Amino acid sequence: MEQKDFFAEATESQRYKITEVIGKGSYGIVASEKVAIKKITNVFDHVSDATRILREIKLLRLLRHPDIVEIKHIMLPPSMHDFKDIYVVFELMETDLHQVIKANDDLTPEHHQFFLYQMLRGLKYIHSAKVFHRDLKPKNILANSDCKLKICDFGLARPAFNDMPQTVFWTDYVATRWYRAPELCGSFFTKYTPAIDIWSIGCIFAEILLGKPLFPGRNVVHQLELITDLLGTPAQEVIAKVRNEKARRFLLNMRKKPGTSFEAYFPKADKGALKLLRRLLAFDPAERPTSEEALADPYFHGLSQPSREPSAQPVSKLAFEFERRKLNVDEVRDLIYRETLEYHPQMLADYMAGGRRQPNFVYPSAVDNFKRQFAHLEAGGRGQDKHLGQATSLPRERVRDFQSEAAKYMSRGAHHMSGVVGATAYGAAPAYSNSVDMEDASKAIEMLGSSVEKMSVMDAANGYPTTTA
């Protein structure tokens, strides 16, 4: 090993200096200067959480695209066998789409178009890799003041292999209800498609147009009621496709609704935007366009160019073999350590050459230094009282040159990526009660079947209301 390579690793602790803590999310704390460092503590207290973290860092390494956040570095743990914390380095993004929507009641048609274009372009890349995101929502779309968006938070994402049992694929599906496709609200099918992500993008786009959530359901039954209020009662041939008998009966017994005119519901929206929105929000998933088809919609005339909308190679089955079995703590720790080594080439070479043995000498780690810096800031050090993650206004002067802005970003290579995993780290959690209204949950279960039970309980645990009040 060359001397310069060793000292490149040895100075890792001087490579970053933490200046402030900018937020806490479900799975970590984020600090920032020119990069954002996500501190994830006690990773292995729960194997399910550790597996989610493993899945996310692996997917973000494999999915390199301008509209997806990039992990720039992962700190080397002091020991491969008993480490507890992980420090993941991202390029800093300023805010998330949830905050942008809150702060801007005068977004222009150019904003609308450019936002949707970037989300669909990123989703095309994800789906072409045979991955479902499964948790798209405004807080999982990071944003900068130059209107650049990046998809983040792949903790619920899954590679979709044809031979993977659907029971494995959907067992832990508990994504935010407001952006959940109707077929998932009612457990309509035993097999699902990337159309679930297309529905979520449609809900996000509608929220951009409205300035508020489109379907803020209190439970899955109320969610379906809101959806059918806008779209109308689904046709008989659509209901006939529903495999879940209770869900099918629920839809058949629903009072007939004509639906609401999109032009009336979104009075200020561009007509082309509404035509595409209708397609994205088709009740029948078979009628929704793919992300590639949506990018070819006339709404994006002059902006969309297939040569700037790359596809990915499908992710390897071997890379996600761990999804097919139940991991124990030691196994998931080994897999996370192995993933960390992807950002430390010399250590990876030693690890591969020596099998699973510890390297011949101890490589220096920045983790202890970072622990001290985080502890200082969280105890009241500089930056403690600064409340970042506030709603961020977009500069009005940027509107006139959106086309050049789009061209600039689309012409960049895949190495021009940024973001912070988990947009929830930038904003406060919704001010909703975490309690579960069991009577209301029982009503949903009775109407739609027991498969909605876990979703209802998890909705409440994640801070979304489940009461009928």
Instruction: List the catalytic residue out of 85, 135, 350, 437.
Output: 135
| H or E, element range at 66 | none
Cβ(419)–Cβ(152) under 8 Å? Answer: yes
Residue 284's Cα: distance from chain center in Å?
23
Place of tokens 């938070």: 153
Tokens of 108: 């222009």
Cβ(85)–Cβ(43) under 8 Å? Answer: yes
What are the residues whose beta carbons fall under 8 Å from the beta carbon of 179, sequence distance 6 or more? 136, 137, 199, 200, 203, 204
Whole-number Å distance between alpha carbons of 317 and 237? 36
Give residue 247's region: left, alpha or beta (phi > 0; psi -120 to 50). Answer: alpha
Whole-number Å distance between alpha carbons of 115 and 102? 15
Closest by CA position to 111, among listed 154, 70, 143, 72: 143
β-pairing, 35-40 vs 71-74, is unpaired
Give residue 42's region: left, alpha or beta (phi > 0; psi -120 to 50). Answer: left
What is the dihedral sign for C-alpha 255, 258, 263, 267?
negative
Whole-number Å distance between alpha carbons of 8 and 344? 10
| H or E, element range at 424 | none
List, as one string, the DSSP characters of 271-327.
HHHHHHHHHHT-SSGGGSPPHHHHHTSGGGTTT--GGGS---PPPPTGGGGGGGS--
Q: How far is CA 10 from CA 15, 332, 346, in A?
A: 10, 26, 12
Cβ(235)–Cβ(286) under 8 Å? Answer: no
List, as one string, the DSSP characters of 76-118.
PPS-TTT---EEEEEE---EEHHHHHHH-S---HHHHHHHHHH
Would you call 135 a catalytic residue per the annotation?
yes
Residues with catalytic annotation?
Answer: 135
